[in-house]
Structure formats: structure tokens, C-alpha cells
């Protein structure tokens, strides 16, 4: 039997991956990339995508962050198969509800001699370290690793607090085969016995993350390269768990995804501009556009092809083709990829997305009135080729949803005292117009302004545009006039004309 390099002895549908965010606010864009790769990996193999919330660090958890994670994943279309609000056979999926399981595992590790109580206080450790020669690693020196049962009993009788540390191997290599990086090896001598339970009895991330991976039957751990330094410790813990019969004994296969770099070659942080998911939602990115761009941060479908659908990604995805070197986040490229996905939408689809986005942005009602919906449906073809994100549509079309007497003409809109004759002629031409469709409007205005006044198109139509939209740039003018309707158009032209006074 040949062993598949990605699946090992697993059948594809046995694949179980997890996305384990901590509820600490807006999702970070690097985390979203991890969620995407895990989801795609699960879908590619027909396996299971588990959502687990790592919320044992109670002080940092914000109630709305839980909701934010669920809503964000749903918005992205990265539906989880098991997890909060879904359930599943391996719950609970909030880590904070699993403390009994964690305490039980810690007790078993102690009983098996794979972990030990360490009574050293930070002050005692520091005092010992003061005399060490410069350059000696400052980690825990393992003094309490070999306490006798009597010494432990004595400390306990004194009521001395203790942390629990996992015993790391003292020599040799801790090695594993990473699906992205190939063979990775750490020198065990550089690994200190690390704390898995705090002095207050609370288990740490270092314990609960690998324990839950094992208890939830996770087969593949695909996560950011920033976590690589903790992987040797996790592997030793997985091995310890196998030894004491926690979980199936299977050690998950790792794939460490490349770091996402922001400005100045630094890891993109969620505090950086462009580092949090909410920004992209606010700007009106399409989930499929953003996901396409995030997919490119470490993977490609083909050398000459940047634009693809998630369905295509699911089909083609091969974790071994993920690039190990850091990926730079390029906001311009992200916007350009999103623009491509906007062009790929049908007019009806884009129109529906604009209705939702403009409703949330307060440009139209939420829910929209039938009249607002109709107007959006009619203006959508006019902006379809002109926007990179949904928010780009706002300044282009908000004139349609602004009351006539609330139009403010921008200083740079190009309306000047010498625009008076243009506006007068426009008002005259449009007042009697029987059919107010864009072709009739265009014919009437060309006759009045170009032929009649002898103006160049820019000088002729700029002031008209400024009067009805307040801006220098708008969707095509004649269509805009048609959408606005004759009464509103004339009211705005008249107001702009009187704003310029007598000439």
C-alpha cells in the first residue's frame, strides 16, 4: 500500500481540520487566510472543518467577539461543519466549557510522571539565574523536575503554590514532516520544560490547544508560521497524550502557512491598516474577491492566473504546493482582484449586493423600499465597470437618494459664474421635453449646448453634472438625468442656477 504524503493512512473523508480563533475582537486577516486554507483543505478532501473558540484566557474575551467570529465566517462563506451554534460529536466547542476535560488530562499527565509540579517561584528562579554566565539560556532550569515524593509532599504540606510543567526530552531531535516546509527539526536540548497549568490551577493555551486537537480527532493542523516555535512542545505533548491513552494516539500532521507581511516587512498585525477583516467588509469587498486574494498569499492556481473562484480553489488545492516563504499583502492587488469579481457578477447579483451594502451604510433604507430597489437595479449597469469595491458606488450614486434641496455642490465640481448660460439653456431644453429618456435628453442637450451655444462637450456637460449630482464625477450624465427624473433634475438645475445669482 502506498502511503499518501498528505493523508497518510487516512481515507480523504476522515480529514478533520480546525480553525481555533481566540475571541479577542475583529478577526485578523492572517487568521482569515488560515481559516480559508483549512476550509478549502477540508472541502477538497471531503473532510470536516471544525470551529473551536479558544476562550480560556477570560480577561481578553469580548462577548461580541464570539458573534463577530460566527458572522465573519458566515459572511465569507466558510461554513463550519462542527462547532458553536452547529454542535457535533466532539463538543463542547468553546474551550472555556472544557475545563473538566483539561483538568483530568493534567492529572493523568502528572500521575504518569510525564509532567511534574514545580514549586519554584519566579523570584527563586531569578535568584538562581543571576549567577549564570552571560549568554546562558534563561529558561526554566528543570530543578524541580526530579523532586522526590517526600520533597513534593513537604512543599505541599507547606501550602507552597506550584505550576505544572511538561517534561521535555533532554536530548535528541524533535522532528516532524511539515506539509509546507518539509522536514523540520528542533534540538531538544534547547526546549525547556514548559508550564501547562498555572499556579492558580488554570490550564494554559500550551495544554488546551493540543489536548483539544487530540480530543477532537484533528488530523491536520494548518496554521501560521508564527506558531512554529511552539510546535516541538506540542508534539511532545501529543506523544505524552498518546502514551496515557488520551485520544486515538494519532499525532496530527502539521502544515505551517507562510507569514503575511504588511508594510515595512513586518508581520501584518490586526492593528495595522488593512490588518482586520472588518475594514474589508466596511469598504464593500465581496467575500469571493477577498478570499481569492487571500488564497494568493501562499498559493496559486496557475502561474498565469490570479483570478479564480473558491470552487476552483477547492478542486485544485494541494497543501504541498503552498509556498513556505512569507507573502506580502498588497492592498492595490487586493482591490484589483476584488474588482475582477465585481465584473464577474451578474447585474442582478451586484444590484442585490448594493442594496444590502447601501442599506447598511445608511444611503438607502434597511430594508430598502421597492422604489429604492428599483432605482439601484437601474443604476447598477452604470457603475458595474467603474467600481472596485461596493463602497466606491456610494459617492457615484448617492445623488439619487438625496433630497433635491440637500444637494451640496462641491467646490471642485466645476460650477462657475460663467456656467449661467449653460444652466439656463439646459433648463429651457429639458423643461418641455416630452420623453425624459436618456436618448431624448442627450439629443436635446447636444442641440441646446453644443450646437446652440457652440460649447465643447466638457464645458457643456460639466455644469449640468455639477448641478444635479453636486460632483465633478458621476455615472454617465444622460442616464443619470433619466434616473433622477424630470422634476428633480429641473429642481436641481434651477437651484444651482439661482445659486449663481444674476449675471
- Positions in the binding site for ligand GLU (CB under 6 A): 20-22, 54, 209, 223, 227
Nearer to ligand GLU by Cβ, of 80 and 478: the residue is 80
Give the shortest CB-38-to-ligand GLU separation in angstroms: 9
First to last CA, the chain: 93
Nearer to ligand GLU by Cβ, of 28 and 471: the residue is 28
Nearer to ligand GLU by Cβ, of 297 and 500: the residue is 297
Q: Which of 117, 160, 167, 270 is catalytic?
A: 270
Q: How many residues are recorded in the chain?
A: 503
H-helix or E-strand spanning residue 183: strand 182-187
Question: By CB neighbour count within 10 A (0-12 exposed, 13-18 middle, 19+ buried), where does 324 fall?
Answer: middle
Nearer to ligand GLU by Cβ, of 225 and 482: the residue is 225
**Sign of the Cα pseudo-torsion (129, 131, 135, 136, in order):** negative
Nearer to ligand GLU by Cβ, of 257 and 500: the residue is 257
Rounded distance between C-alpha atoms, residue 422 and residue 463, angstroms? 7
Q: Does 117 participate in catalysis according to the annotation?
A: no
C-alpha cell at 146: 526530579
Question: Are the CB atoms for 481 and 451 separated by under 8 Å?
Answer: no
Rounded distance between C-alpha atoms, residue 256 and residue 177, angstroms? 11
How many C-beta neighbours within 10 Å does residue 492 have? 24
C-alpha cell at 128: 538562581
Give the shortest CB-461-to-ligand GLU separation in angstroms: 54
The angle, 0 to 180 degrees and rounded to 10, between the axes of the packed helices 438-445 and 457-469 is 130
Q: What is the CA radius of gyration of the chain?
A: 32
Give the shortest CB-36-to-ligand GLU separation in angstroms: 14
Give the shortest CB-174-to-ligand GLU separation in angstroms: 17
Choose among 84, 51, 9, 19: nearest CA to 249: 9
Give the shortest CB-54-to-ligand GLU separation in angstroms: 4
Indicate the residue whose CB is closest to ligand GLU.
Answer: 223
Choose among 57, 70, 88, 62: nearest CA to 19: 70
Ranges of H-type helices in 388-453 = 393-397, 420-431, 438-445
Give the shortest CB-212-to-ligand GLU separation in angstroms: 10
C-alpha cell at 295: 488564497
Give the shortest CB-267-to-ligand GLU separation in angstroms: 13
Nearer to ligand GLU by Cβ, of 20 and 475: the residue is 20
- Cα dist from 336 to 103, 239, 269, 290, whole Å: 50, 46, 22, 10
Nearer to ligand GLU by Cβ, of 23 and 289: the residue is 23
Rounded distance between C-alpha atoms, residue 323 and residue 181, angstroms? 8
Catalytic residues: 270
Amino acid at each position: 500500500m502506498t502511503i499518501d504524503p498528505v493523508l497518510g493512512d487516512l481515507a480523504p473523508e476522515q480529514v478533520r481540520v480546525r480553525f481555533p480563533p481566540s475571541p479577542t475582537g475583529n478577526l485578523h486577516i492572517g487568521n482569515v487566510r488560515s481559516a480559508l486554507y483549512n476550509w478549502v483543505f477540508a472541502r477538497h478532501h471531503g473532510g470536516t472543518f471544525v470551529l473551536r473558540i479558544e476562550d480560556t484566557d477570560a480577561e481578553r474575551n469580548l462577548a461580541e467577539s464570539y458573534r463577530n467570529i460566527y458572522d465573519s465566517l458566515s459572511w465569507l462563506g466558510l461554513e463550519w461543519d462542527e462547532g458553536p451554534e452547529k454542535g457535533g460529536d466532539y463538543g463542547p466547542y468553546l474551550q472555556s466549557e472544557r475545563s473538566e476535560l483539561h483538568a483530568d488530562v493534567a492529572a493523568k499527565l502528572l500521575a504518569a510522571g510525564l509532567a511534574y509540579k514545580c514549586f519554584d517561584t519566579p523570584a527563586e528562579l531569578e535568584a538562581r539565574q543571576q549567577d549564570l554566565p552571560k549568554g546562558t539560556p534563561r529558561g526554566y532550569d528543570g530543578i524541580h523536575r526530579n523532586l522526590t515524593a517526600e520533597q513534593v509532599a513537604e512543599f505541599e504540606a507547606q501550602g507552597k503554590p506550584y505550576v505544572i510543567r511538561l517534561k521535555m526530552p533532554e536530548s535528541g531531535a524533535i522532528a516532524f514532516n511539515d506539509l509546507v516546509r518539509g522536514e523540520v527539526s528542533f534540538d531538544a536540548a534547547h526546549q525547556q520544560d514548559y508550564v501547562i497549568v498555572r499556579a492558580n490551577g488554570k490550564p494554559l493555551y500550551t495544554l488546551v490547544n493540543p489536548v483539544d486537537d487530540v480530543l477532537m480527532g484533528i488530523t491536520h493542523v494548518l496554521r501560521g508560521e508564527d506558531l512554529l516555535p511552539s510546535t516541538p512542545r506540542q508534539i511532545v505533548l501529543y506523544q505524552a497524550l498518546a502514551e496515557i491513552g488520551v485520544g486515538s494516539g494519532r499525532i496530527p500532521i502539521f502544515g505551517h502557512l507562510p507569514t503575511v507581511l504588511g508594510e515595512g516587512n513586518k508581520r501584518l498585525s490586526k492593528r495595522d491598516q488593512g490588518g482586520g477583516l472588518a475594514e474589508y467588509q466596511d469598504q464593500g469587498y465581496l467575500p469571493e474577491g477577498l478570499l481569492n486574494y487571500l488564497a494568493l498569499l501562499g498559493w496559486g492556481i496557475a502561474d498565469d492566473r490570479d483570478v479564480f473562484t473558491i470552487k476552483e480553489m477547492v478542486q485544485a488545492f494541494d497543501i504541498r504546493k503552498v509556498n513556505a516563504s512569507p507573502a506580502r499583502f498588497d492592498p492595490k492587488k487586493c482591490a484589483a482582484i476584488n474588482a475582477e469579481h465585481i465584473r464577474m457578477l451578474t447585474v442582478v447579483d451586484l444590484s442585490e449586493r448594493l442594496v444590502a451594502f447601501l442599506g447598511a451604510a445608511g444611503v438607502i433604507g434597511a430594508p430598502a423600499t421597492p422604489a429604492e430597489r428599483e432605482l439601484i437595479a437601474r443604476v447598477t449597469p452604470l457603475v458595474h465597470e467603474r467600481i472596485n469595491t461596493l463602497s466606491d458606488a456610494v459617492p457615484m450614486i448617492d445623488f439619487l437618494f438625496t433630497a433635491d434641496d440637500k444637494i451640496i455642490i462641491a467646490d471642485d465640481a466645476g460650477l462657475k459664474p460663467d456656467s449661467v448660460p449653460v444652466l439656463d439653456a439646459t433648463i429651457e431644453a429639458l423643461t418641455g421635453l416630452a420623453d425624459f429618456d436618456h436618448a431624448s435628453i442627450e439629443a436635446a442637450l447636444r442641440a441646446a449646448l453644443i450646437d446652440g451655444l457652440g460649447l465643447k462637450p466638457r464645458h457643456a456637460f460639466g455644469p449640468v453634472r455639477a448641478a444635479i449630482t453636486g460632483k465633478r464625477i458621476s455615472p454617465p450624465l444622460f442616464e443619470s438625468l433619466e434616473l433622477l427624473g424630470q422634476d428633480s433634475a429641473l429642481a436641481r438645475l434651477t437651484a444651482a442656477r439661482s445659486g449663481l445669482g444674476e449675471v
